[in-house]
């Protein structure tokens, strides 16, 4: 048995990029920042930010493009996927992405996130920033 599951709460680094496949399926890409603060050995406060590349498809991608903005606080669930390719110079390149299976907007009206519910889940949508663990 194996499990490939990622759960993150973070903020968008910039506006989502939405494009459409040849078949008309929406694809949204965006970067999500997660942060933690700790004190180093010298007692100094250190902020550590990790960036995650996220990809969504279909209706979720359309919602991301319409309602998410730079700084939006969101909850995402998905799976890790690494893909590789050769660039135009023949160098092997790769990226690891989170393929979204679920996304929830967490900010309130102050975060400019007025939106429709995208399913019947009871996940809270208005969690104050003070309750986010970073």
Can you spell out the DSSP letters for the chain? -----EEEEEEESSPPEEEE-TTS-EEEEEEEEEEEEEE-TTS-EEEEEEEEEEEEEHHHHHHHHHH--TT-EEEEEEEEEEEEEE-TTS-EEEEEEEEEEEEEE---GGGT------SS----S---GGGS--
Q: Which two tokens stand for residue 41?
A: 């050995």
Q: Read off the pLDDT of residues 55-73 as tens digits, 9 standing for 90 and up.
A: 999 999 999 999 999 999 9
Strand partners, 84: 94
Q: CA 89: distance to chain centroid? A: 30
Q: Tell me, yes or no, if the pTM score tops 0.85.
A: no
Specify the pLDDT at position 10. Answer: 97
Radius of gyration of the chain, Cα coordinates, nearest whole angstrom: 17
- 6-110 placed in CATH 2.40.50.140: yes
Q: Read off the pLDDT of residues 2-17 as tens digits, 9 standing for 90 and up.
A: 999 999 999 999 999 9
Write the Ramachandran bin of 58: left for phi over 0, alpha for psi from -120 to 50, otherwise beta. left
Give the residues of the chain that fall short of pLDDT 50: 113-134
Phi, psi of 115 (to 5 degrees): -160, 160
Residue with tokens 């920033």: 129
Specify the pLDDT at position 107. Answer: 77
Specify the pLDDT at position 2. Answer: 95
């Amino acid at each position: 048995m194996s499990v490939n599951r990622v759960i993150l709460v973070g903020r968008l680094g910039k506006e989502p990029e939405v494009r459409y496949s040849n078949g008309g399926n929406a694809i949204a890409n965006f970067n999500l920042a997660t942060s933690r603060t700790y004190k180093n050995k010298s007692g100094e406060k250190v902020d550590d930010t990790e960036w995650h590349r996220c990809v969504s498809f279909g209706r979720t991608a359309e919602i991301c493009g319409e309602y998410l903005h730079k700084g939006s606080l969101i909850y995402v669930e998905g799976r890790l996927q690494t893909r590789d390719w050769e660039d135009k110079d023949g160098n092997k390149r790769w990226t690891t992405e989170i393929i979204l299976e679920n996304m929830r907007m967490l900010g309130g009206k102050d975060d400019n996130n007025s939106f429709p519910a995208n399913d019947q889940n009871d996940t809270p949508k208005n969690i104050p920033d003070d309750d986010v663990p970073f």
